[in-house]
Structures are given as structure tokens and as C-alpha cells.
């Protein structure tokens, strides 16, 4: 079956716990990710390594970038230091420290991030279209002339829009805005909502009703979650 996993934010142990829970029941599980693999949590490097490993071993595994990956890419491409980029305000230091605890953060980002990570993240599609779903980090702007080319909206929008004519009746699965698990469940009650947010705030275990990493079974709309085990 197919499973889509919400925002991970550097919580590698929690991610592995969730995927292993799924794989014990479903050895042929296919995985999709809505982005925000990195930042804030303690081990972004291990998250990227794990997802890259799944990409090699799972035929139908794919991932879209979140706004945090795009901030990293922009800093890398524009030859910036962390202090010169917006990434510094969004958890970029935690990602760089996970790559190298002794990193000199005065260096340019492209000197601190190994090329293999840059290349992998830079290769990710902004959205994935399946036969019954669109998977994207934040959503789509259907008021734009070309919604599937409005990349800023795909990673930043807080609006939940769906145009059944354009999406051909497919549901949109996304993350980006943390919501309680009970709210995700409410969106799955029949008939399920046209937009389903699966970001249950994994990294925010100090906030009420958050701190859970969630996977949605795309074939039967079952939710599988695990509490954060990375954060104190």
C-alpha cells in the first residue's frame, strides 16, 4: 500500500520508528513525503540519509521539497553564509550542525553541505501527481494563471484550495501547517475533504496536541502515527 508521511523536521528516530511500524505490517509499503525533512530537530542529516536510502530501495518512493529545503537550496545557490540568508531564522543551524558539529558557520553554505545532499534535494519535484492524489508541501494557488508552475505557493501557501476541474477530482495531500491529529481525523470522515493536511507538528512536542509524526495510508485513508522520540 501507499503511505504519505508528514513534516519530519530532523526527527530521525521518530521517522524510523514510524516507517518500521508500517513495514512490519506491510513489507511492500510505498512511501511518499510532503517535505520539510530538515531543520529544527536534532538530526536532519540522518533523515536525509534515510530518505535517500529509501529512494534507492523502494521503486515507488518519492518526496517533494518543503519551504525549509528551498531555503537551504537558495542559500547554497546564491553563495550565502547562514547569517546572510533567511534560513538562519528557520532552523538552518541545526541542520548544518547535524552535518558537522564542528562546522564553521561563517563559511558559505555551499562549503558546508556535501554536494550529494544538494543534488538530491535539488532534484525533487515540487509536486507529485498520482492516479488519485496530488502530493505537495503546502498547496496550490488555483487563482494563478498556471497553478502547477506557481512554485512559491506550493511551498508557502496557507490557503487550502482545490479546483476539481483542474485537479480532475483528485484530493490534495499536503503538510506545512501543523494541526492536531484529531483535526486530521475529522478531515478523513466520509466523504473525505478535498485537501488533507497531514502535518501533526512532529517537532513541536512541547505544544499541546502536537508532537506526532503521521502517515496517511492513501489506499484506505487510515492514519498511522508515532509520538516524537527525538526531542526532550
User: What CATH code is carried by the domain that includes residue 187?
Assistant: 3.60.21.10
Strands 212-217 and 127-129 come out as unpaired
Is 76 part of any domain? no
Is 77 part of any domain? no
3-state secondary structure 26-64: CCCCEEEECCCCCCCCCCHHHHHHHHHHHHHHCCCCEEC
In angstroms, the CA 48 to CA 228 distance is 17
Is 89 part of any domain? no
Is 12 part of any domain? yes
Total number of domains in the chain: 1
Kindly list the distances between the CA atom of residue 158 and the CA atoms of 101, 155, 177, 218, in Å, as whole numbers in the listed order: 34, 9, 7, 22
Q: What cell was used for 203?
A: 517537532
Is 212 part of any domain? yes
Is 116 part of any domain? no
Query: 3, 218 in Cβ contact below 8 A?
Result: yes
Is 174 part of any domain? yes
Is 48 part of any domain? yes
* Domain enclosing residue 27, as ranges: 2-66+125-227
pLDDT per position in the chain (232 positions), as tens? Answer: 999 999 999 999 999 999 999 999 998 999 999 999 999 999 999 999 999 998 887 767 799 999 999 999 999 999 999 999 999 999 999 999 999 999 999 999 999 999 999 999 999 999 999 999 999 999 999 999 999 999 999 999 999 999 999 999 999 999 999 999 999 999 999 899 999 999 999 999 999 999 999 999 999 999 999 999 999 8
Amino acid at each position: 500500500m501507499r503511505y504519505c508521511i508528514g513534516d519530519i523536521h530532523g526527527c530521525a528516530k521518530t521517522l524510523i520508528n514510524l516507517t518500521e511500524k508500517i513495514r512490519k505490517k506491510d513489507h511492500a509499503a510505498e512511501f511518499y513525503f510532503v517535505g520539510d525533512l530538515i531543520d529544527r530537530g536534532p538530526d536532519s542529516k540522518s533523515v536525509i540519509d534515510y530518505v535517500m536510502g529509501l529512494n534507492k530501495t523502494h521503486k515507488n518512493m518519492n518526496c517533494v521539497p518543503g519551504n525549509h529545503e528551498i531555503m537551504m537550496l537558495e542559500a547554497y545557490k546564491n553563495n550565502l553564509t547562514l547569517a546572510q540568508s533567511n534560513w538562519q531564522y528557520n532552523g538552518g543551524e541545526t541542520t548544518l550542525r547535524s552535518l558537522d558539529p564542528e562546522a564553521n558557520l561563517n563559511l558559505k553554505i555551499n562549503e558546508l553541505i556535501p554536494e550529494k545532499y544538494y543534488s538530491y534535494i535539488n532534484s525533487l519535484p515540487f509536486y507529485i501527481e498520482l492516479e488519485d492524489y496530488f502530493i505537495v508541501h503546502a498547496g496550490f494557488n488555483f487563482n494563478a494563471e498556471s497553478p502547477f508552475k506557481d512554485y512559491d505557493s506550493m511551498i508557502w501557501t496557507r490557503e487550502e484550495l482545490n479546483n476539481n476541474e483542474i485537479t480532475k477530482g483528485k484530493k490534495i495531500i499536503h503538510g506545512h501547517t501543523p494541526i492536531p491529529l484529531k483535526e486530521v481525523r475529522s478531515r478523513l470522515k466520509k466523504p473525505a475533504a478535498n485537501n488533507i493536511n497531514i502535518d501533526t507538528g512532529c517537532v513541536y512536542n512541547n505544544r499541546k496536541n502536537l508532537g506526532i509524526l503521521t502517515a496517511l495510508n492513501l489506499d484506505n485513508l487510515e492514519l498511522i502515527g508515532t509520538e516524537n522520540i527525538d526531542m526532550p
